[in-house]
Structure 1
């Protein structure tokens, strides 16, 4: 493969893989640069699923639609959307509309063309319907399943070249006299050479490098210093939005950072700065959150933003740690556990959750709490916290020997909603709102789609939808130039 003929994709998470898949379908060569030693990014760790509405896998009587999904997403976006000036609000709404109206197609593409099992559907926080898809019993977690399917396919392609351990250090402009080459972009990257020299590639660029939730002493400290000391689900690596700002890209919502309410506290390493996410699907399938003596305190399926706020207000601090952590118990009954078995098996193996009985829990109020919740689930009384979906919870008559599964969780910095400004064609826009020639972006590096809160399941969806759009448009640009 000649490097001069390739499209350069930076980042090997789901957005980058989807963009690459589209390019390869047009028989356009791709060089993918990944700063980690292995591909997959944070996408490979995604645990709750991918949103889609309506799909053939959803419960037939729930009457979900793209319009309902749109309404939930607009509501979740909150203040950044509502307070935008007309032109900016229209741009954001076009992004959201593109996301939801192509969501069903995205799920079908993964299932029918890539062979991914997404037949199990759960309702996550902030959603009015069950629309978050993952594999059935015995299947891999959704992020791993989707990423590995795409990687396996791409690794068989002679037009695809993956270069790992390559950190992009700068975006540069090529010099040229023709209309086709003038202003063409390229990237300098550190390939780990002994002489410490960088290498440069020129060509159409697709940035899919993710967010900055692990950039504790960089962008996170700059935009959200109030989150200092809270652990993260992301490894410590710098955000790449500044690389695109240097060539004129506009950024938006950089202070909008999602703190996920449930990251596991490993009893063997209480102060670990990076936590495993306790998938929202655990609560979607019926799981509950407890504080203090074993009492519920929140609708566990409210938006992540609101559940996190309730935890920080109502839970006590986790003692004997140097980090800002809260002491919360996540509990599932046998019904919720069975429906979550793909996740639960891993969590049990890692020691992040354990199987026990109600009587063995050192929580004085636990039996009353569980019996009250059981009566809510069975329809005998309304929920004091407004919860209306209970997944697969089956425990009705709570006894001391009733089997439950528990884990300790705390809020964790998880996702950054801010990033470079794009349009519905995944083109990166400059400060005047004009597309930057030969530059696209998709996934968490972009901003403006989610506003102040991202709905669970919309991260993988965003990567598929806008990754594919970026690939299609970069393919057209490549063929033209």
Structure 2
């Protein structure tokens, strides 16, 4: 009102002035001009005063109400307008879809999408009270995105270098857009549905393809290798078919993609798929536990005196005689090719070390710098990104494996009708929790209606499970190995083993779930000694010469014996803790950069003198010196080690090997040897009445497994360095088999 009055006064002054100026042949007197000037000045002063007061009120309001309240009101208003526009758009899309389906019918190759959000009457977008909920949702999304950006920045050296989230990477899939009003309508429809789910579930959405020749579930090393191998085999097969059609032989001499057997079924006409290889990962980024691997990957090292027979013997001995011979044979035989595969994809390893339980050095690793897991995963993630046949779907979890006995709309059976368990597709759902597990937990998997998240069905020719183990699942550990359930774990929260129940529901056999590996050395953080998740103190620390000492400064075990033996000795110590000590040369071989990282994290300390080390450990200086002198004498051949140790890399001589590195360590749950039963072709074995393999060797057609999700290779105890090798060897086998046999 004040502004309106000021305007009216200004207009009045203008009119008066114009009247004065328009008087013919008359000049305004000085008194009149002064009167006009006074009239002009008062209103502008009033406007200035009102502006100052208004600005002051605005500052007071901003101070009294937090900025988020004001912004929230603005966001709510914007959201209300957006919701109204969205509701109108949905109405048009539903009308268009209804008309299209009634006239043309649904495509048989379309994605079958099953949102579990209740009736349309409860749809928050269509509700007249949606504006407040949507406004709050937008604010929560913004907060979550900011928080996720911070987390991504902190974890960038552990995860993919690719910045994409929640979507596909790679070349375009089955259908490409073209101009025209019908495509515009489809685009609007897709956008409307995507926006609706984003507002309801607050997570990134991506277009889930209706079909894929091979679906690989799991974004760790086994999954990436399987996806790359399958894609490359498809390329080779396509080149060979093209050459045959032109009457010439293929120029490729590679036989790495020839499967051992496709189960004897006659090849049929391969159906069309929208995607060659679909790689699904429930976490926002690829990597998994593989990105954390630190010691190395085993492979035959003949230069160090290794042989296939010696390697097989070490694996069998470590496993306590429970390892499946055919799996061990494949692991050892294809280990050199596994290294070549990694090198071909940019992950060459230039160091060799010896871990516990090995007769000779055969663990290939990096010589300092980043850990071996990150070297492997960063190279393979880049290779996956560049492979045009692979599409990556992050933030989605496996909910169900669909087979021929329960196939639904959009699914077609394999050519072998005699196998009722043949895989025909999968159901996926957005991963709803921070560990990506809530969307695919066994409870919701058995009762899909209990999940509020939408389901997406994907028809496929073959499925490769590469989902890892269950070392972070306390409930499952308690049921199969209670002694392990009380310990901390080195695994990320994603290692929950949900796919084991899903595989069993699809007819798969499970083996060795009670075989849980306790790693003897996890770092004890002095700032949080009771933490349930701990950093692994890698076996390589002992492989380069680290010693284990009890609280009195005494050795108590051969540091380079099998993991289960060292862990058992650790478990007998008071408090289940010990000291890990390295000398200068051992630290140099391990990598001083990595040791400095541990020191900065507070997990390790650097002692410049022996007296500083003794003080840190709380033991007498002379006693510690006597223990290290005795060890150096035995290492030099002066006597037999009382604990049977035969290899003595870099003894920490107290007079020459300074500085010393110290860390407090304790046993931790590290790996689960049991899982889905497979044969040497990575085919999943069918279960008998008790859940174990039925004994006939029968397999589930189209279902493969690789990596920690599988069981039978490691027996009761895994040999250090074999987990990465297993991922590469059986990932390649699974990828080759799935590409060649899955669609038959």
**Taking structure 1 as the reference length, what is the TM-score of the superposition?**
0.90
Residue of structure 2 in register with 1:105 after alignment: 337
Q: Deviations over 1:325-366 (max 9, x none)?
A: x22111000010000015323322322111103211222232
What does the per-residue CA deviation read over 1:106-125, in whole Å, with 9 as the maximum and x for residues that have no partner? Answer: 123222x1232312111111
2:428 corresponds to 1:189: yes
Partner of 2:611: 359
Instruction: State the SS of the aligned residue for 2:574.
Output: coil
Alignment partners' CA distance in 2, 1:447 and 1:215:
17
Give distance in 2, aligned partners of 1:452 and 1:422.
16
Q: Secondary structure at the match of 1:115?
A: coil
- CA-CA distance at 1:398 after TM superposition: 3.3
Tell me, what secondary structure is at the counterpart of 2:732? Answer: helix
Does the Cα contact within 8 Å between 2:423 and 2:700 map onto a contact in 1?
A: no
Structure 1 unpaired stretches of 5+: 82-91, 318-325
Q: 1:379 aligns with which of 617, 637, 646?
A: 637
Q: Which residue, out of 674, 682, 685, partners 1:426? A: 682
1:382-401 matches, cutoff 5 A: 382-393=640-651, 395-396=652-653, 398=655
CA pair 107-178 structure 1, distance change in 2 beyond 3 A = closer
Q: Is the 8 A contact 1:11 1:34 kept in 2?
A: yes
For residues 198 and 316 of structure 1, the distance between their equivalents in structure 2, rounded to whole angstroms, comes to: 50
1:249-296, CA deviations, whole angstroms, 9 ceiling, x for partnerless residues? 001111000000000011111111111100100100000101021110
Structure 1 residues 357-385: Cα deviation after superposition (integer angstroms, max 9, x where no partner)? 32112222321111111112222222111
Aligned residues of 1:375 and 1:396 also touching (Cα < 8 A): no
> Among 147, 160, 180, which residue is 2:415 paired with?
180
User: For residue 392 of structure 2, what is the aligned residue in structure 1?
Assistant: 162
Structure 2 length-normalised TM: 0.59
Q: Secondary structure at the match of 1:444?
A: helix
1:93 corresponds to = 325
For residue 34 of structure 1, report the CA deviation from its aligned partner: 0.8
Give distance in 2, aligned partners of 1:178 and 1:351: 56
DSSP 3-state at the match of 2:288? coil
Per the TM alignment, residue 181 of structure 1 is displaced from its structure 2 partner at its CA by 8.3
Larger proportion of helix: 2
Determine the structure 2 residue equivalent to 1:25.
Answer: 232
Could you tell me which residue of structure 1 aligns to residue 478 of structure 2?
221
2:708 to 431, 441, 444: 444
Question: Aligned pair in 2 of structure 1 residues 178, 76: CA closer, same or farther (>3 Å)?
Answer: closer
Q: Which residue of 1 aligns with 2:349?
A: 118
3-state SS of the aligned residue for 1:149? helix
Greater radius of gyration (CA)? 2
1:404 matched residue in structure 2: 660
Cα distance, 1:184 vs. partner?
Answer: 3.5
Residue 45 (structure 1) aligns with: 292
Say whether the 8 Å CA contact 1:339–1:392 is kept in structure 2: no
Q: Deviation per CA, 1:31-78, whole angstroms, max 9, x where unpaired?
A: 1111112111111100000001135xxxx4x31111111111111111
Q: Distance in 1 between matches of 2:452 and 2:487?
A: 38
- Partner of 2:382 in structure 1? 152
Aligned position for 1:322? none
The alignment partner of 1:366 has SS state of helix
Residue among 461, 467, 470 paired with 2:731:
467
Q: Which one of 555, 562, 584 corresponds to residue 334 of structure 1? A: 584
- Cα gap change, 1:187/1:179 in structure 2, threshold over 3 Å: closer, same or farther? closer
Instruction: Give the whole-Å Cα distance in 2 for the aligned partners of 1:177 and 1:52.
Output: 41
How much is the aligned-residue C-alpha RMSD, in angstroms? Answer: 1.9
Q: Which has the higher contact order (CA 8 A, sep 6+)?
A: 1
Match of 2:311 among 39, 55, 69: 69
5+ residue gaps, structure 2: 1-172, 175-208, 236-275, 433-450, 688-693
Q: Deviations over 1:117-146 (max 9, x none)?
A: 3121111111001111101233x2111111
CA distance in 2, matches of 1:436, 1:336: 48
Aligned residues: 451
Say which structure is richer in strand: 1
The CA distance in 1 between the partners of 2:327 and 2:310, in whole Å, is: 16
Question: How far did residue 192 of structure 1 move?
Answer: 5.2
Asked if residue 11 in structure 1 is aligned to residue 218 in structure 2, the reply is yes
